[in-house]
Amino acid sequence: MSKPQYATPVDWLREEHDDQLRWVASFNSRSHSYKVQYIREHLETELTGHQPDTIIDRSMAVFNRRHVEDVYSHLGEAECFIARHERAMAVHIYLSDVTGAVVKLEPEASVTLPDFVETCPEKLHPEGVR
């Protein structure tokens, strides 16, 4: 049986997580650039009040692959970083030393490791991020 093809990585994430997907952004931590791939409709207003540029910029600075590997240098190469908060869960997927994606989900969402992390690089690629 062949694997289904998706027009965009967001299509795959939406099928996997349905209403639990909050937003998706690809990033380049070297250039501090990002591209929002998807924001769930009602969250656009909520995020506007919290300055998404600041949130994503801080996220890239603190949770970038090099920093995470420096903190946990004894554990080897980082593949992802997950932070679960009261109102959301953030999954940082590292695609290279400087590129990756942040997938925000509802806090009760289920992410199966290592399957999710192994599948994400196949589906997510930071198009448009320089």
Which pLDDT band holds residue 76 (cuts at 50, 70, 90)?
Answer: very high
Residue 90 belongs to domain spanning: 9-123
Give per-residue pLDDT as tens, 12-68: 888 889 899 998 888 888 888 888 888 888 876 666 666 767 777 788 778 889 999
How far does the chain reach from its first CA to its final CA, in angstroms? 36
Cβ of 58: how many Cβ atoms within 10 Å? 11
Q: Does residue 118 lie in a domain region? A: yes
The string over 99-126, giving b where at least 16 C-beta atoms fall within 10 Å of a residue's C-beta and e elsewhere, is bbbbbbbeeebebeeeebbeebbebbeb
CATH of the domain at 32: 3.30.450.30
CA proximity to 34, closest of 6, 59, 65? 59
In a domain? residue 115: yes
In a domain? residue 4: no
Chain segment 96-116, per-residue pLDDT in tens: 888 888 899 999 999 888 888
E strand or H helix at 23: strand 21-28
Is there a domain that residue 71 lies in?
Answer: yes
pLDDT for residue 128 is more than 60? no
What is the count of structural domains for the chain?
Answer: 1
Q: Is the pLDDT of residue 71 over 90?
A: yes
Residue 48: the pLDDT is: 60
Residue 42 lies in a domain: yes
Whether 128 maps to a domain, the answer reads no
Question: Looking at per-residue confidence, does 41 or 130 come out higher?
Answer: 41
The pLDDT score that the predictor gives to residue 69 is 94
Peptide bond into 52 cis (omega under 30): no
List residues bridging with 33 in a β-sheet: 28
Neighbours of 74 (CB within 10 A): 5
- Residue 80 in any domain: the answer is yes
Assign 124 a pLDDT band (cuts: 50, 70, 90): low
